[in-house]
Each structure stands twice: as structure tokens, then as C-alpha cells.
Amino acid sequence: MSDIFAGIKAIIFDLDGTLIKFKLDIIGMKKEIIRRLLEFKIPKNMLSLDIKIADMIKISKEYLLKSNRKDLALKVAPLVFSIADKFEVKAAEVSELIDDAKLVLKGIKGIGLRIGLLTNNGKLATNIVLKKHDIAKFFDIIITRDDSQSLKPDPAGLRLILSALNISPKEAIFVGDSVIDAHAAKEVGVLFFGVETGLHNRDDLQRENAVMVFSDLKSLLKFVIREIKK
């Protein structure tokens, strides 16, 4: 076994852009979120389509708390997540597996590693995807935003997975296509492997301290098997 895999007991995967093609209408979703948050009297100049949804939640909650409107602050995340659910379910219903995703999950399971799934999607859309593509059986633990009540890059979801599997950060690898996946991994101290199957390219992922970056999932599987056998 190589130095990289010494002590590794689990590989944790992101979902969108890593295992599935998820054609989410992110602009439409953000527009509706902004429209509804403006009803909470959040200043218009504090929200824009360029802001990440996690940041919209944070900005809105902080503003409302400073304005002594704790009751509304508590409603921000549930409101945003309910809007996201609606858009995510539509995307989930027409989602597609990324090439070799099922082969890779089966292969990793076959060499005795446990597998986790961490997604910013809600449970509704995640369950549709898992059932549609028959991949739930590969995962030992699945954490959605409904479980962690947070969104990556917040590392809460990763910590929940580590706890559920009873392993330390040094015993896991997180695989994702986005810099927010890399940020979450870094925060917890988990090794991060990037894949160029979704949002960000090799340069983006390497800048965020990806230990390895793979052009596709099959290359990831070949590397894992080769390193485990060393």
C-alpha cells in the first residue's frame, strides 16, 4: 500500500458534477431565493446572482439578527432550502450518471473501502437520484444538507460522515469536482482528490491543494486500485 493510502478506510464522494450530471437551473433558483428574501426586508444591494446560496443565507441571517428580528432569521435557511428542493427535484428527475460512476463505486466497494456521500442537495432530490440510478446500495453513509443543516464549504457534513463511520480525518479521502469540496476537506483535514467531471478544472482544483486531480472517474479507480495493491 502506498503512503497516500496508508490507513485509509473510506472514500467520500460529492454527488453533483462528480457522480451525476445535474442540470440545475441555478439562475432561476437564485432569482426566486432573492425575491423571497427581499420580502424579509433584506436590502436589495446585499443580494445578487453572483453570491453563493450559502452566503445569501449567512448575509440574510446576520442582517436580520442585527436588526433584532430573530424570528425571521430562523426562517431564512428553511425558506431557501424549500425553494432549492423544488428546483433540485426537477433536475434530479432528468439527471444522468457520469461515465463509469457505477463501475467506480462497485470497484471501490470491492476492494473493501467504505463509501460515503456528501451533497449540498436536499434529501428529496438525493433520494430521487439514488433510486433512478440504483446507486444507494454502494453507500455506507449518505449526508444531505437536511442532515447537516449546512452547505459546503461548511465542513459540518464531512464531520458527520467521519463520526458515523467512526474514523478520523486521516482515514478518509474526499472526492469532488468543485473548490467548495476542496475547502470543506481542508477545513476538516481530509485528503482531497479532484475530478474534472463537473464544475472546476485541474488548475482550479490544484490551486485548492488537491492531492491528485483526475480527468475522469475511471482514472481515479485505476489509481486507487494500483495504490492499494502497492
Residue 1 in this model has a pLDDT that exceeds 70:
no
pLDDT for residue 208: 87
SS3 state of residue 97: strand
Half-sphere exposure of 130 (CA within 13 A, CB side): 19
Q: Which three cell numbers stand for residue 135?
A: 446507486
SS3 state of residue 220: helix
pLDDT digits (tens, 9 = 90+) for 18-51: 999 999 999 999 999 999 999 999 999 999 999 9
Which pLDDT band, with edges at 50, 70 and 90, does 2 fall under?
low
Say how far apart CA 145 and CA 47 lie, in whole Å: 22
Which pLDDT band, with edges at 50, 70 and 90, does 227 fall under?
confident
pLDDT digits (tens, 9 = 90+) for 96-139: 999 999 999 999 999 999 999 999 999 999 999 999 999 999 99
The reported pTM is 0.92
